[in-house]
Amino acid sequence: MTDEGNSRPKKDSFAALRYKDFRSYLGMRFFFTFAYQMQTAVLGYYIYALTHSKMSLAYIGLSEAVPAVGLALYGGYIADKYEKRKMLILVFTGVIFSSLVMFITTLKSASPYIPATWIVPILYGMIFCNGISRAFYGPATFTVYAHSIPREVYPNASTWSSTSWQLASILGPFTGGFIYALAGGITSNFIVILTFLAVTFVLVYRLRKYPPVFVPKESIAKSLKAGINFVFGNSILVSALSLDLFSVFFGGVVALLPVFAQDILHVGAQGFGLMKMASSLGAALTMVVMVRFSPLNKPWRNLLIAVTGFGLCIIGFGLSRSFILTLVFLFGQGAFDSVSVIIRGTLVQLLTPDHMRGRVSAVNSMFIGSSNEIGDFESGLAAQLLGTIPAVLFGGSITMLVVIFTYFKTRKFLPLALSDFHKIDPDKGETI
């Protein structure tokens, strides 16, 4: 379609949504993310309320990150080798089981049968099980996403996918905090969580079957090594993943929000929900804008600008003692992070060959998908050792140093347009 008197094609902001499988994928991702973010938020608040230990927040991230990272490469291998819809059905069966056990554990009627000293270990155990599921969820959905739309629609699809994720991330924690405060506990949250997971399970059946595009003719070790070598042999991919890894690892403050809500700002469960919501609200609104105004005209330059803004907002958050100002900095953090997510997601999709998507997604998951949880562990440990405020300022400062280092190492990518990345043949693994 072209504008009258203009030879250039008219931009279609809804291009990705015109594909049925992508719409099913988007719905599945929205409802799962809503349930997952809601569960993560209320579990952190609940466990900190029980223990009043910053290390207990660190262990939440560690419990999920250990299996997610440890099994990520194997999950990528399986995603390349097996049918994806069946794989997702098994993944969501495991997630629903874990949430059901957590629901039963937090029931007051279960207290005569479950000693109080068992509650937190059981929750950690189910978080560990969710980490196992995540190791297979990421590579499978990465492949479904890539095959549900043509390559030329990837930038538009990345914006819609990230917007859906951020919208769910807004509603999940906010709803969790509101229900927690209204109902006086965590148990009611799990009714909503389990309902949304059931909807997710149904949506998986709407996906068509995605047969394997990779039939291994070598050992699993050699196959996994090929995926690792591909990523680390591509200077663009490894630079993008490293930048995100270290900025999220040191700059993440999500794990410490229960401490700020309960001990520093004294805003309670509803205030905690608003703090969790602010970052995702900033991200979602920014992504809506990016549907029309893409940050991909100079992707690498814009990526460095976005991570710089992210680091500055973390420092501002650590210095703030005003609840309103804290929400502003969290909003800015989410806005800048969303730009980074769009750019990195598009580049990874463009530069990954079809037969290696599961394994590359697994490496991506090890860098990015679990960097939040590992970052949560780092945040809790740093807060325990340095104090909460110094830990946040330390993380923001390290993020700024990472950006400076990356700038000097990757200056040759700064002037490149998205069209330059389109010219790269992913099967050859070429770099510019």
pLDDT tens per residue across span 86-136: 889 999 999 999 999 999 988 876 667 777 788 899 999 999 999 888 888
What pLDDT does 8 receive? 42
In a domain? residue 7: no
- Contact between 35 and 196 (Cβ < 8 Å): yes
Distance CA 159, CA 342 (A): 6
**In-domain check, residue 294:** yes
- Nearest C-alpha neighbor of 92 from the set 137, 141, 129: 137
Q: What angle do CA 242, 246, 252 make, to 5 degrees?
A: 140
Question: What three-state secondary structure class fits 9?
Answer: strand
What is residue 221's predicted lDDT score, i.e. its pLDDT?
A: 64
Q: What is the pLDDT of residue 178?
A: 80
pLDDT of residue 1: 42
Please write the tens of the pLDDT for every residue from 8-54. Answer: 445 667 788 888 888 888 899 999 999 998 998 889 888 988 888 88
Q: Where are the alpha helices (DSSP H) in 235-355?
A: 235-251, 257-259, 268-292, 299-319, 323-350
Domain span holding position 61: 16-422
Does any domain span residue 180? yes
Distances (CA, A) of 407 to 96, 344, 401, 403: 43, 16, 10, 6
Domain count of the chain? 1
Tell me if 245 is assigned to some domain. Answer: yes
Q: Residues near 188 by Cβ (< 8 Å), separated by ≥ 6?
A: 179, 180, 182
- Three-state secondary-structure class, residue 32: helix
Residue 191 resides in a domain? yes
pLDDT score recorded for residue 395: 86
Q: Are 288 and 338 in contact (CB under 8 A)?
A: no
The CATH code of the domain that includes 305 is 1.20.1250.20
Judge if pTM exceeds 0.85: no
Rounded to whole angstroms, how far apart are CA atoms 28 and 332? 27
49 falls within a domain = yes
**What's the burial of 132, exposed, middle or buried (CB within 10 Å: 0-12/13-18/19+)?**
buried
5 part of a folded domain: no
Q: Nearest CA to 399 among 286, 253, 250, 298?
A: 250
What is the Cα–Cα distance from 373 to 278, expressed in whole angstroms? 19
- Hey, which residues does 2 pair with through a beta bridge? 9
Would you say residue 154 lies in a domain? yes
Q: Which residues of the chain have pLDDT under 50?
A: 1-9, 429-432
